[in-house]
């Protein structure tokens, strides 16, 4: 790898200016667990690396009932899963932050970086989608915001334009009787890339017997993580039963258009989408019931 300039701005405006100046010859650095390895592997060649960790707003994590949870793009995973509020309100997010890499990786890796890396198998992205997350983006033309599911546009590609940075993610406050869960399937029990992953969130009615609404997202089975909208919508108004879960799991397979590669086959991945969706739904429903 060629040497590059390292800069560590302390404001969003400065970061945007530094990123814009170098266009596609700049990269943002947060936890570095992807970008440093990719630089070393020759995935891209840059003139400037912009460290986002000195910008206060990108390190913030805050929660209020009105505004939900805001997670700065440079907040490492361990801060998320060790936070008592997140543990209580967003167990689905804890699932995701807790299974990225090993403890060493979790000490550095961020949700923001995982999203910006935009890998089809990105381990937290379906969870962010199922939780209804939105992305807060700053750029030369000001700020904009969009749902997480609209962020990734292809393997390693996303909506960020030259000069734009991800500031943070926002998740609405969980509704009453709601629950979410994320899981993945890997051949080992740790330190692995998902063959498939799935996240689900559900809102139950007051009886906790019926599903009011659901969101399902799946990963590693298409060029980007995908919302399984039809599968989720089909749960609305249904009993929170094994039969409904089974139907949703089968329906979720429809969004899968995976490839054969060293990590898994098309058949295996489509099958796993069904299995993982069902398992995620079971846990999400159980959490919604307060079990």
Partner 1 sequence: MATTADRDAAAQGKFRVLGTRPVRHDGIEKVTGAARYGADMLLPGTLHGKVLRSPYAHARIRSIDTSKAEAMPGVRAVATSADFPIIQNREVNFAQSLQNPRLMAENDLADKKVLYKGHAVAAVVATSPHEAEEALNLIEVDYEVLPTVLGWREAMKENPVLLHDTLTERMTVSRADPGEDTGKPGNVASHLQLKLGDVEQGFSEADVIIEREYNTQTVHQGYIEPFACTAQWMPEGRLTIWTSTQGIFGVRGNVAAILDIPESMIKVVPMEIGGGFGGKGTGYLEPVAAVLSRKTGQPVKMVMSRKEVFEGTGPSSGSFIRCKIGAKNDGTFTAAQLYMVYEAGAYPGSPMAGGATSGLSAYKLEHALVDGYDVVCNKPKTAAYRAPGHPQVCFAVESCIDELAQMLDMDPMDLRIKNVAQEGDRATTGVPHAHVGLREVMEAIKAHPHYNAPLGGPNRARGVATGYRLNGGGSGSSATINVLANGTVNVTTGSMDLSGTRVAVAMQVAEVLGLSAEDVTPQVVDTDSVGWTGGSGGSRITFDTGRAAIAAAQLAIDQMRDRAALLWELEQDDVEFVDGNFVSKKNPEDRFTFRELAGRLMATGGPVTCSAMDTQGGVGGALAGNIFDVEVDPETGKVDIIRATAFLDIGQAAHPSYVEGQMQGGTLQGIGWALNEEYFFSEDGVMANSSLLDYRMPTTLDLPMIDCEIIEYANPRHPYGLRGAGEHPIIAPLPALGNAVSRAINQRVYTLPITPGSVLESINERDANGS
Partner 2 sequence: MPKVHVQTNINGTDMDFLCEARQSLLEVLRDVLGMTGTKEGCNDGNCGACTVILDGRIVDSCCVLGVEAQGRTITTIEGVASPEGLHPLQQAFLEEAALQCGICTPGFIVAAKSLLDREPDADEGRIRHWLAGNLCRCTGYDKIIRAVLSAEDIAAGRGDRSAASTGAGAGAADQRDVYND
For position 193 contacting partner 1 by CB under 8 A, the verdict is yes
Contact 169, 70 (CB under 8 A): yes
Q: What whole-number distance in Å separates Cα of residue 97 and Cα of residue 95? A: 6
- For position 185 contacting partner 1 by CB under 8 A, the verdict is yes
Q: Does 8 contact partner 1 by CB under 8 A?
A: no
Which of the choices partner 1, partner 2, none does residue 194 contact, using the CB cut-off of 5 to 8 A by kind? none
Nearer Cβ to partner 2 (70/106): 106
207 interacts with partner 1 by CB under 8 A? no
The encoded tokens of residue 247 equal 């139907």
Closer Cβ to partner 2, 107 or 223, answer by number: 107
Contact at 8 Å (CB) between 27 and 44? yes
Q: At what angle do helices 91-99 and 266-288 cross, to 10 degrees?
A: 140
Out of partner 1, partner 2, none, which partner does residue 263 contact, by CB within 5 to 8 A per kind? Answer: partner 1
SS3 assignment, position 228 = coil
- Give me the least distance between CB of 210 and partner 1, in Å please: 26
Inter-CA distances, 31 with 37, 38, 53, 54, 214, Å: 11, 13, 8, 12, 32
Closest to partner 1 by CB, 32 vs 132, is: 32
Contact between 66 and partner 1 per CB under 8 A: no
Instruction: Rule CB under 8 A: say whether 261 interacts with partner 1.
Output: yes
Could you tell me the CA-to-CA distances from 162 to 19, 41, 61, 142 in Å, in that order? 7, 22, 26, 13
Query: Which one among 275, 282, 286, 289 touches partner 1, defined by CB under 8 A?
Result: 275
State the residues that interact with partner 1 by CB under 8 A.
Answer: 1-3, 185, 187-193, 195, 261-265, 268, 271-272, 275
């Amino acid at each position: 790898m060629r040497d590059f300039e390292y800069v560590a701005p302390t404001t969003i405006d400065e970061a945007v200016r530094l990123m814009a100046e170098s266009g596609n010859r700049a990269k943002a650095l947060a936890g570095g667990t992807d970008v440093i390895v990719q630089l070393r592997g020759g995935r891209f060649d840059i003139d400037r690396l912009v460290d986002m960790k000195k910008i206060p707003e990108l390190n913030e994590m805050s929660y209020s009932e009105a505004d939900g949870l805001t997670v700065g793009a440079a907040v490492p995973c361990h801060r998320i899963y060790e936070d008592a509020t997140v543990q209580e309100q967003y167990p689905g997010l804890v699932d995701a932050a807790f299974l990225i890499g090993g403890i060493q990786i979790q000490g550095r890796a961020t949700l923001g970086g995982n999203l910006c890396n935009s890998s089809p198998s990105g381990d937290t992205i379906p969870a962010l989608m199922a939780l209804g997350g939105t992305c807060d983006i700053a750029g030369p033309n000001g700020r904009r915001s969009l749902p997480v599911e609209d962020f990734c546009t292809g393997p390693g590609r996303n909506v960020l334009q030259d000069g734009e940075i991800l500031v943070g993610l926002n998740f609405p406050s969980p509704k009453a009787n709601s629950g979410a869960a994320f899981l993945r399937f890997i051949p080992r029990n740790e330190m692995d890339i998902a063959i498939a992953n799935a996240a689900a969130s559900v809102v139950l009615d007051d009886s906790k017997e019926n599903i009011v609404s659901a969101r399902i997202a799946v990963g590693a089975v298409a060029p980007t993580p995908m919302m399984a909208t039809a599968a989720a919508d089909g749960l609305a108004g249904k009993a929170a039963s094994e039969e409904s879960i089974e139907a949703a799991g089968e329906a979720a397979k429809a969004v899968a258009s995976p490839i054969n590669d060293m990590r898994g086959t098309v058949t295996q991945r489509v099958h796993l989408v069904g299995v993982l969706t069902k398992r995620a739904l079971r846990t999400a429903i159980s959490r919604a019931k307060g079990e």
